[in-house]
Amino acid sequence: MCEDSAYLVSPLETPRSSIPDETRRLSLGTNSSTNCTNRTGDALVGFHEDALSQATVGRAQSILAIVLGLGVAADCIHVAILEYILPLAEVHLCIGENEKKWLVTITFLALAGGSFTWGILGDHLGRRRALISALSITVLFCGVATVMPTYGTFMTSWFCASLGVAGIFPLTFSYLAETCSRATRCRYSGFLHSFWPIGAIYISVLADLTLPMKGVDIVNDHLEHWSSWHRFLILSVIPSLFCLFGLIWTSESPRYLLEASREVEALAVYQRLHKLNNMRTQYGMTELELPGRSAYRDRPTSPGRNIFKHYFTSFQEVIQKISTPTHFRATVVLAILHLLFGFVYMGISSFSVALLKEYKNEDYFSERAYLEHEFYTDMVFNRSKENVEYKYTVFKNVSFYHISLNHVLFSSCIIEDSEFINVKTSKTYFEHVTIKNCKFIDTDLTDHHFLHSTLKNNTFMSLVAECPVDFDYNTFLPDIYYNTLDWADPMFISLFLIGFVMEVLQRPKVILFLSALASFTSIGMFYATTTFGVEMVEFIMKILLMCAVNALTIVVIESYPCHLRCTAHGMMRCLFHLASLCAINIYGSLVHVILLFPTVITVTMLFIATFLSTKIQDNSKTLL
pLDDT in tens, 164-182: 999 999 999 999 999 988 8
pLDDT in tens, 328-338: 788 889 999 99
pLDDT at position 324 over 80:
no
Q: Is residue 388 part of a domain?
A: yes
One-letter amino acid for residue 513 of the chain: F
Q: Is residue 572 part of a domain?
A: no
Burial of 297: CB neighbours in 10 Å, binned 0-12, 13-18, 19+: middle
Q: Is residue 49 part of a domain?
A: no
Alpha-carbon distance of 542 to 10, in angstroms, equals: 45
Q: How confident is the model at residue 392 (pLDDT cuts 50, 70, 90)?
A: very high
pLDDT score, position 67: 95
Q: Is the distance from CB of 201 to CB of 489 less than 8 angstroms? A: yes
Average pLDDT over residues 86-109: 88
List residues bridging with 386 in a β-sheet: 406
Average pLDDT over residues 127-138: 94
List residues bridging with 372 in a β-sheet: 391
pTM for the model stands at 0.86
Which range has the worst mean pLDDT, 261-265, 566-570, 583-587? 261-265
Q: Is the distance from CB of 311 to CB of 120 less than 8 angstroms? A: yes
One-letter amino acid for residue 609 of the chain: A
Residue 302: DSSP 8-state = P
Average pLDDT over residues 196-213: 92
pLDDT at position 96 over 50:
yes
Q: Which residue has the higher pLDDT, 106 or 34?
A: 106
Q: Is the distance from CB of 586 to CB of 10 less than 8 angstroms? A: no
**Domain extent for 444:** 369-461
Q: Is residue 192 part of a domain?
A: no
pLDDT at position 42 over 80:
no
Alpha-carbon distance of 348 to 587, in angstroms, equals: 8
pLDDT score, position 44: 74
Average pLDDT over residues 562-587: 91
Q: Is residue 137 part of a domain?
A: no
List residues bridging with 454 in a β-sheet: 434
Q: How confident is the model at residue 68 (pLDDT cuts 50, 70, 90)?
A: very high
pLDDT score, position 343: 96
Q: How confident is the model at residue 340 (pLDDT cuts 50, 70, 90)?
A: very high
Query: What 3-state class would DSSP assign to 367?
Result: coil
pLDDT at position 283 over 80:
no
pLDDT score, position 24: 34
pLDDT score, position 408: 93
Q: How confident is the model at residue 289 (pLDDT cuts 50, 70, 90)?
A: low
Q: How far is CA 609 from CA 5, 23, 614, 618, in A?
A: 41, 26, 9, 16
Residue among 30, 55, 27, 31 nearest 43 (CA): 27
pLDDT in tens, 432-454: 999 999 999 888 888 888 998 99
pLDDT score, position 171: 94
- Of all residues in the chain, the percent with pLDDT exceeding 90 is 44
pLDDT at position 391 over 80:
yes
Element (H, E) at 434: strand 434-436
Structural domains in the chain (count) = 1
pLDDT at position 9 over 70:
no
pLDDT at position 539 over 80:
yes
Q: Is the distance from CB of 129 to CB of 252 less than 8 angstroms? A: yes
Mean pLDDT (the chain) is 84
Q: How confident is the model at residue 65 (pLDDT cuts 50, 70, 90)?
A: very high
Backbone angles phi, psi at 384, to 5 degrees: -60, 145
Q: Is residue 535 part of a domain?
A: no
Average pLDDT over residues 402-420: 92
Average pLDDT over residues 222-242: 85
- Of all residues in the chain, the percent with pLDDT exceeding 70 is 86
pLDDT at position 294 over 60:
no
pLDDT score, position 610: 94
Residue among 411, 398, 420, 419 nearest 450 (CA): 411
Q: How far is CA 534 from CA 165, 351, 353, 531, in A?
A: 30, 9, 9, 5
pLDDT at position 344 over 60:
yes
Beta carbons within 8 Å of 107's beta carbon, 6+ residues apart: 78, 79, 82, 158, 159, 162
User: How many C-beta atoms surround the C-beta of residue 332 within 10 A?
Assistant: 13
Q: Is residue 134 part of a domain?
A: no
- Kindly report the CATH number assigned to the domain that includes residue 447: 2.160.20.80
Alpha-carbon distance of 553 to 45, in angstroms, equals: 20
Q: How confident is the model at residue 464 (pLDDT cuts 50, 70, 90)?
A: low
pLDDT score, position 465: 60
**CA dihedral sign of residues 207, 210, 216, 220:** negative
| Mean pLDDT comparison of 202-211, 322-331, 558-567, highest-scoring range | 202-211
Q: Is residue 376 part of a domain?
A: yes
Alpha-carbon distance of 431 to 617, in angstroms, equals: 65
pLDDT score, position 593: 80
Q: Which residue has the higher pLDDT, 314 or 60?
A: 60
Which range has the worst mean pLDDT, 137-151, 169-183, 289-303, 348-362? 289-303
Query: Checking DSSP bridges between strand 439-441 and strand 429-431, what pairing results, if any?
Result: unpaired
pLDDT at position 7 over 50:
no
List residues bridging with 404 in a β-sheet: 424
List residues bridging with 377 in a β-sheet: 396
